[in-house]
């Protein structure tokens, strides 16, 4: 059962009780991410995510780590392009302590200038780690090129330059401009008592008052088709090939999941079977849809040797053309639906995945979907719908490619249309 | 309250007791509440561990076969992994594609993984499809055919993976570290094997490796979730009952020798960061000091944001993004290692910081607070390691494999809580060696500039 309540200040709470577990996951989701930053603030959301663990008026950074460890819990956070999440997972009897720590970090973080300076070094290390990891890095390059000029295109971590320029003043300004109770969802899944949970959350978060902030309206991303090469001395060539996808909440989203599943979503997918299993041209290949409030992408990633990379590219394009022209087959459709439904059911026992699902439902739809509803929607996907979707997405001019490694322009196919 | 201790009832006697147990119904308890696994040994020698948990229609299964890369014969590193990789690539009755499709059709997940000591095959399936899941699971374990074209194809894919690891600084560092640390002990080579060793492996090697090691009396199966003990038993009998027992003759492997000096390996790589591993041979899982070592390592560098290394080297000095130390408790003594990434120019400072912390924990008592915090975490987080059927299904065979006894689930807290300040110092002195270690640095060596001696 899902409980929903709006706290007196406008923070939305969604909570789902699971009797099968002893633990509970709680997440504070702020609808602010890297796309909401000004160019000179680039990397701020992620930096803030770090700074919320660096000490409050009541607790030092060490105290925070100590307290959560003392109850054997997990406390962490992550930042995406359009949200920042702080979460904890604990045994049910420790939920009040977890809420106290989350609330204290959220309301009373000091943002001590010395801690800021130290944390900058840590984040700069993190940026460099991504640059040294070709699979991560090629994705950053790809999004940068395909959504050129849009704030969504920027890497979440920011750059060494922008992160170096962060000050306490800039942090406070950013918080004032973007964080607001109306932009917050608290999501809870697992074992808890609903009425005491709601009372506790009102006490712990209800006093955070709206500041009448006005988030900059988000600017919908537009596709800039490209074929880009970034040369680097690597053993393998890392590829991202993609087309537009769908925004969050699009009515065709289930058709997209089904189609992606057939195309490159798992080991029985066409790309995996054709390129890795049948031909052994790539050691990793998969496709995935990514969706944001007002835009999305469908991306294929592959890692292949320099020698195999050109044929992998050609083959991926061929498969995209095929799915555009013919859609998917009835048997594939059925298998994919079962695959997605099975996976969905199997994910039900994890409190953290349920907590995330609840929060995203609330953020993007303002309501929660039951498993039954989702399964009904998946069952409804038809061959016809998938074919229409493919035609719409795989516009002949929108194909893009980013390649990282020892590859040159001559190795890329001449035809760049679908 | 059916906590069966392994030594109580040998062999077939379990089966008789089972009849008695079946007349009881099993509680619908939450995962993470006290788990009471039942242990049964089947007539063909397979150890079955069952936890019934009916609140969700999900069944998680794991089969562990003692056939890890530890058993790769000389000259053939990678054989265990290749054998495991081919299990689901075709059986006597199904092609590779048929297996994949059958799984996808019911949305089940089946994954095979080789590691140093053993191979595991994990299955997650909805209750309604449990028969299909077991049919596939037993088919791939008992009847793989190792078809020659599939064999060549999978070998090529693994070679591709090995090639890809050359772009991953961690993988490069880990491999070099193991080579120095383990000498001729099989833990020296990656589970995947080497670029040079894979072509040496023939199809016949897989067939004989499988015949030798994939035997019910060399396997442990756990079934956790929406099944009763009786259903679990029936499933195992139906799908694994005809699996023939084998004569097990595990090779005698000498444990790795400790290093007698400091060995440094620098690997030139054009990267903006240096990746560093420092360490040496640690302890095996069955070492009675294992729990004291866990507590000690938690304080030293295993305890995430609470550990001394994270505090000092990341938070106070800002030299690294992440740093952690670990002891892998394997069948034979596994590695103790400290791993971090840093700006090339900061590597020396970070290494000195690590050695300082190692020396400090050997020479000075840890504080009472540190000790109690470490214990609180290790004990308190234990239930969260068992909060889904999947996690329990993968934990149980490991408990059995290391002979810890099912009472381990109950005793774990006590084993940790018993550790004293003196124990921590004693095991730090005994198992940490700040003078004899392997040090691997991957990055731009000129910028790392690790010339001359490292100050301790």
Q: Which residues of B touch A258 (CB under 8 A)?
A: none
Q: Do B380 and A71 touch (CB under 8 A)?
A: yes
- Residue of chain B whose Cα is closest to the Cα of A20: B30
Judgement on whether residues A123 and A247 belong to the same structural domain of the protein: no
Distance from CA of B302 to the nearest CA of A (A): 12
Residue B444 reports pLDDT greater than 90: yes
Q: Which pLDDT does position B18 carry in this prediction?
A: 33
Give residues 72 to 111 of B whose Cβ lies within 8 Å of A: 96-97, 100-101, 103-109
Q: Which residue has the tokens 């009998």?
A: B237
Give the torsion sign (CA, A55, A13, A29, A375): positive
- Residues A335, B304: C-beta atoms closer than 8 Å: no
A344 & A389 share domain: yes
- The reply to whether B252 falls in a domain is no
Question: How many domains does chain A divide into?
Answer: 2
CB A196, CB A385: distance < 8 Å: no
- CATH number of the domain bearing residue A53: 3.30.830.10
Please tell me whether residues B212 and B114 are part of one structural domain. Answer: yes
Nearest CA in chain A to B304: A65
Question: What letter does residue A27 receive in the DSSP assignment?
Answer: E
pLDDT tens, position by position, B344-364: 889 999 999 999 999 999 999
* Residue-level pLDDT at A30: 97
A154 and A303 belong to one structural domain: no
Residues in chain A with CB shorter than 8 Å from the CB of B384 are: 23, 72-74, 89-91
Domain that residue B429 falls in: 263-447
A132 vs B311: CB contact, 8 Å cut-off?
A: no
Nearest CB among A69, A125, A234 relative to B343 is that of A125
Amino acid B23: pLDDT: 31
Tell me the pLDDT of chain B averaged across its residues: 90
Q: How confident is the model at residue B19 (pLDDT cuts 50, 70, 90)?
A: very low
Say yes or no: B222 and B299 in one domain.
Answer: no
- Chain A residues whose CB is inside 8 A of the B160 CB are 280, 282-283, 304-305
Same domain, B227 and B267: no
User: In this structure, are A163 and A263 located in the same domain?
Assistant: no
| Active site members of A | 49
CATH number of the domain that residue B406 is part of: 3.30.830.10
Structure-block tokens of residue B381: 């987080």
Is residue A117 located within the same domain as residue A184?
yes
Count up the domains in chain B and report the number.
2
Does B455 fall in a domain?
no
> Which chain B residue is nearest to residue A268, measuring alpha carbons?
B100
B83 and B123 housed in the same domain: yes
Question: What angle separates helix B421-431 from helix B290-297, to the nearest 10 degrees?
Answer: 90
Alpha helices in B44-95 (DSSP H): 79-86
User: Is residue A31 assigned to a domain?
Assistant: yes
Same domain, B25 and B138: yes
pLDDT at B29: 46
B127 at the A interface (CB within 8 A)?
Answer: no
Q: Do A338 and B107 touch (CB under 8 A)?
A: yes
Nearest to A22 among B30, B97, B316 (CB): B30
Residues A151 and A181 in one domain: yes
Q: What is the per-residue pLDDT for B251? A: 83
User: What is the phi/psi pair of residue A286, to 5°?
Assistant: -160, 160
Residue where a domain stops, chosen among B240, B274, B292: B240
Give me the pLDDT at residue B7, please: 30
Domain stop point among B199, B225, B240: B240
Q: How far does the CA of residue B154 sit from the closest CA of chain A (Å)?
A: 8
Q: Do residue A141 and residue A61 come from a single domain?
A: yes
Q: Do B58 and A346 touch (CB under 8 A)?
A: yes
Nearest to B32 among A23, A73, A235 (CB): A23
Mean pLDDT per 10-residue section of chain A, whose length is 418 residues:
94 93 95 95 97 96 90 94 97 96 96 94 91 94 95 96 97 93 96 96 91 77 92 94 94 96 93 92 94 96 95 96 94 94 90 95 93 95 96 87 93 82
Task: Please give the pLDDT value at position A414.
Answer: 80
> Looking at chain B, which residue has its C-alpha nearest residue A273?
B97
What Å distances lie between residue A24 and A160, A190, A193, A356, B402, CA to CA? 37, 4, 11, 12, 31
Domain boundary residue among B208, B240, B272? B240
Same structural domain for residues A243 and A197? no
In a domain, A418, yes or no: no
CB contact under 8 A, A348 and B58: yes
- Report yes or no on A210 lying in a domain: no
Residues B297 and B324: beta-carbon distance below 8 Å: no
Task: Residue window 291-330, chain B: list those with CB within 8 Å of chain A.
Answer: 303-306, 311, 314-316, 318-321
What is the per-residue pLDDT for B267? 95
From the list B315, B373, B378, which residue is nearest A61 (CB)? B315
Query: Which residues in chain A have their CB less than 8 angstroms from residue B311's CB?
Result: 62
Chain B, window 377-396: residues with a beta carbon less than 8 angstroms from a chain A beta carbon: 377-384, 387-390
Identify all chain A residues contacting B272, using CB atoms and an 8 Å cutoff.
Answer: 128, 131-132
Domain-located, residue A8: yes
Q: Are residues B268 and B401 in the same domain?
A: yes
Residue in B closest to A118 by C-alpha: B318
Is the pLDDT score of B455 beyond 80?
no
Q: Which two tokens stand for residue A205?
A: 């978060």
Interface test with A, best of B160, B162, B342 (most A CBs within 10 A): B160
The rounded distance, in Å, linking the Cα atoms of B157 and B159 is 5
Any domain includes B246: no
Residue keyed to tokens 């560092």? B173
- Do B353 and B416 share a structural domain? yes
On whether residue A218 sits in a domain, the answer given is no
Q: Note whether residue A266 is domain-resident.
A: yes
Q: Please check whether residues B151 and B232 belong to one and the same domain.
A: yes
Residue in chain B lying closest to A25 (CA): B384
| A220 inside domain | no
Chain A residues within 8 A of B32 when measuring between CB atoms:
21-23, 91
CA-nearest residue to A133 within chain B is B168
CB proximity B267 to A under 8 Å: no
Q: Are residues A42 and A76 in the same domain?
A: yes
Shared-domain flag, residues A122 and A185: yes
Distance CA B232, CA B62 (A): 13
Mutate which of A16, A19, A20, A131 to disrupt the B interface (most B C-beta within 10 Å)?
Answer: A20
Predicted confidence (pLDDT) at residue B26 exceeds the cutoff of 50: no
- Which H or E element spans position B158? helix B148-165
* Partner-chain contact B105 A335, CB within 8 Å: yes
> Is the distance from CB of A176 to CB of A211 less than 8 angstroms?
yes
Q: Give dist(CA A386, CA A333) in Å, integer.
A: 9
Same domain, B281 and B176: no
- In Å, how far are B182, B434, B437, B456 from B259, measured between CA atoms? 9, 11, 6, 18
- Is the model's pLDDT at B281 over the cut of 90? yes
Buried b vs exposed e over A281-311: b needs ≥16 C-beta within 10 Å? bbbbbbbebbbbbbbbbbbbbbbbbeebbbb
Q: Is the sign of the CA dihedral B294, B300, B306, B309 positive or negative?
A: negative
**A127 and A15 in a common domain:** yes
B342 and B212 in a common domain: no
Q: Which DSSP string do the residues of A74-133 spell out, in sequence order? A: EEEEEE-SS-EEEEEEEEGGGHHHHHHHHHHHHHHB---HHHHHHHHHHHHHHHHHHHH-
Binary contact (B376, A89; C-beta < 8 A): no
**A20–B381 CB contact, under 8 Å:** no
Enumerate the residues of chain B whose CB falls inside 8 A of the CB of residue A305.
160, 163
Nearest beta carbon to residue B318 from set A122, A129, A233: A122
* pLDDT at B3 (0 to 100): 30
Chain B CB contacts of A339 below 8 Å:
104-105, 107
- Both B278 and B170 in one domain: the answer is no
* pTM for the full predicted model: 0.89
- Is A117 within a domain? yes
- Residues of the domain holding A337: 227-411
Q: How is chain B split among helix, strand and coil, in percent rounded to 5?
A: 45, 20, 35
pLDDT of residue B30: 54
In chain A, the residue whose alpha carbon lies closest to the alpha carbon of B381 is: A72
At CA A327, angle to CA A321 and CA A333, rounded to 5? 135
- Convert the pLDDT of each residue in B314-335 to its tens digit: 888 888 878 999 999 999 999 9
Min Cα–Cα distance to chain A from B111, Å: 11
Contact B388 A125 (CB under 8 A): no
> Where is the domain boundary, A205, A235, A257?
A205
Q: What is the ipTM of this complex?
A: 0.87
User: Chain A to chain B, count of Cβ pairs less than 8 Å apart?
Assistant: 184
Q: Which residue of A has its CA nearest to B303?
A: A69
Q: Are residues B302 and B392 in the same domain?
A: yes
- Would you call B30 and A20 a contact, using CB atoms and an 8 Å cutoff? yes
Give the nearest partner residue to B104 out of A70, A266, A348, using CB atoms. A266
Q: Considering only CB atoms, which chain B residues are within 8 Å of A335?
A: 101, 104-105
pLDDT reported for residue B452 = 60
**Sheet bearing B38-41, strands edge to edge:** B38-41, B47-52, B219-225, B58-65, B119-126, B109-114
Q: Test A284 with B164 for CB contact under 8 angstroms.
A: yes
For residue B225, give how far its alpha carbon lies from the nearest alpha carbon of chain A (Å).
Answer: 11
The answer to whether residues A233 and A310 belong to one domain is yes
């Amino acid at each position: 059962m899902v409980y929903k309540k709006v706290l007196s200040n406008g923070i939305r709470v969604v909570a789902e009780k699971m009797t099968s577990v002893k633990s509970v996951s709680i997440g504070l989701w702020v609808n602010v991410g890297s796309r909401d930053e000004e160019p000179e603030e680039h990397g701020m959301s992620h930096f803030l995510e770090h700074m919320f663990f660096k000490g409050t008026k009541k607790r030092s950074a060490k105290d925070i780590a100590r307290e959560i460890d003392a109850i054997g819990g997990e406390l962490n956070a992550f930042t995406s392009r359009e949200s920042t999440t702080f979460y904890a997972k604990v045994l049910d009897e420790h939920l009040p302590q977890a809420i106290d720590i989350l609330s204290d970090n959220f309301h009373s973080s000091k943002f001590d200038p010395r801690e800021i300076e130290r944390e900058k070094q840590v984040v700069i290390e993190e940026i460099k780690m991504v640059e040294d990891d070709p699979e991560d890095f090629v994705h950053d390059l790809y999004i940068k090129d395909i959504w050129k000029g849009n704030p969504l295109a920027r890497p979440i971590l920011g750059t060494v330059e922008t992160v170096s320029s962060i000050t306490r003043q800039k942090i406070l300004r950013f918080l004032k401009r973007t964080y607001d109770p109306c932009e917050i969802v608290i999501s809870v899944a697992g074992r808890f008592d609903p009425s005491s949970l709601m009372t506790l959350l009102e006490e712990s978060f209800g006093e955070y008052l709206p500041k009448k902030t006005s988030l900059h309206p988000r600017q919908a991303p537009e596709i800039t088709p490209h074929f880009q090469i970034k040369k680097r001395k690597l053993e393998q060539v890392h590829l991202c090939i993609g087309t537009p996808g769908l925004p969050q909440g699009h009515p065709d989203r289930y058709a997209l999941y089904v189609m992606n599943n057939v195309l490159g979503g798992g080991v029985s997918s066409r790309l995996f079977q054709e390129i890795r299993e049948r031909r052994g041209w790539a050691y990793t290949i998969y496709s995935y849809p990514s969706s944001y409030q007002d835009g999305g992408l469908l991306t294929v990633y592959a890692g292949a040797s320099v020698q195999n990379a050109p044929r992998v590219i050609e083959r991926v394009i061929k498969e995209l053309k095929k799915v555009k022209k013919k859609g998917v087959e009835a048997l594939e459709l059925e298998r994919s639906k079962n695959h997605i439904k099975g996976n969905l059911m199997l994910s039900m026992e994890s409190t953290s995945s349920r907590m995330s699902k609840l929060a995203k439902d609330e953020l993007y739809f303002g309501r929660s979907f039951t498993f039954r509803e989702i399964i009904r929607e998946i069952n409804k996907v038809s061959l016809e719908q998938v074919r229409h979707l493919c035609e719409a997405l795989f516009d002949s001019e929108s194909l893009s490619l980013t390649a990282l490694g020892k590859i040159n322009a001559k190795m890329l196919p001449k035809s760049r249309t679908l | 309250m059916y906590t069966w201790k392994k030594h109580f009832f040998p062999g077939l006697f379990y089966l008789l007791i089972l009849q008695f147990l079946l007349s009881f119904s099993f509680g619908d308890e939450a995962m993470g509440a006290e788990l009471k696994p039942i242990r049964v040994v089947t007539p063909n020698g397979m150890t079955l561990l069952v936890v019934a948990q009916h609140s969700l229609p999900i069944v998680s299964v794991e089969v562990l076969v003692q056939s890890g890369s530890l058993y790769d014969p000389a000259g053939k590193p990678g054989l265990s992994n290749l054998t495991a990789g081919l299990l689901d690539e075709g059986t006597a009755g199904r092609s590779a594609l048929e297996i994949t499709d059958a799984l996808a059709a019911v949305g089940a997940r089946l994954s095979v993984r080789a590691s140093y000591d053993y191979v595991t095959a994990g299955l997650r399936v909805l209750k309604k499809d449990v028969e299909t899941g077991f049919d596939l699971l037993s088919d791939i374990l008992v009847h793989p055919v190792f078809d020659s074209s599939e064999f060549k194809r999978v070998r090529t894919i693994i070679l591709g993976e090995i090639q890809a690891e050359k772009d991953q600084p961690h993988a490069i560092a880990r491999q070099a570290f193991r080579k120095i640390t383990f000498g001729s002990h099989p833990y020296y080579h990656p589970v995947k094997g080497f670029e040079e060793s894979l072509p040496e492996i023939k199809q016949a090697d897989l067939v004989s490796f499988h015949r030798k090691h994939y035997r019910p009396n060399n396997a442990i199966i756990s079934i956790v979730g929406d099944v009763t003990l009786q259903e679990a038993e029936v499933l195992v009998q139906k799908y694994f009952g005809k699996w023939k027992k084998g004569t097990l003759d595990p090779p005698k492997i000498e444990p790795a020798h400790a290093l007698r000096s400091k060995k440094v390996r620098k690997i030139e790589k054009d990267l903006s960061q240096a990746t560093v591993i420092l360490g040496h041979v640690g302890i095996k899982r069955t070492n009675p000091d294992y729990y004291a070592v866990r507590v000690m390592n938690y304080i030293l560098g295993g305890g995430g944001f609470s550990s001394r290394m994270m505090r000092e080297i990341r938070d106070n000095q800002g030299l690294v993004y992440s740093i952690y130390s670990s002891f892998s408790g394997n069948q034979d003594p596994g590695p103790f290692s400290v791993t971090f990434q840093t700006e090339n120019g900061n590597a020396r400072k970070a290494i000195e910081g690590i050695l300082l912390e190692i020396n400090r924990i050997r020479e000075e008592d840890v504080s009472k607070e540190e000790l109690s915090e470490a214990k609180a975490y290790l004990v308190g987080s234990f239930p969260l390691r068992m909060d889904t059927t999947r996690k329990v299904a993968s934990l149980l065979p490991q408990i059995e494999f290391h002979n810890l006894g099912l009472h381990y689930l109950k005793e774990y807290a006590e084993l940790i809580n018993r550790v004293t300040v003196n124990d921590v110092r004693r095991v730090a002195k005994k198992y940490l060696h700040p003078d004899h270690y392997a040090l691997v640095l991957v990055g731009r060596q000129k910028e790392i500039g690790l010339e001359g001696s490292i100050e301790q």
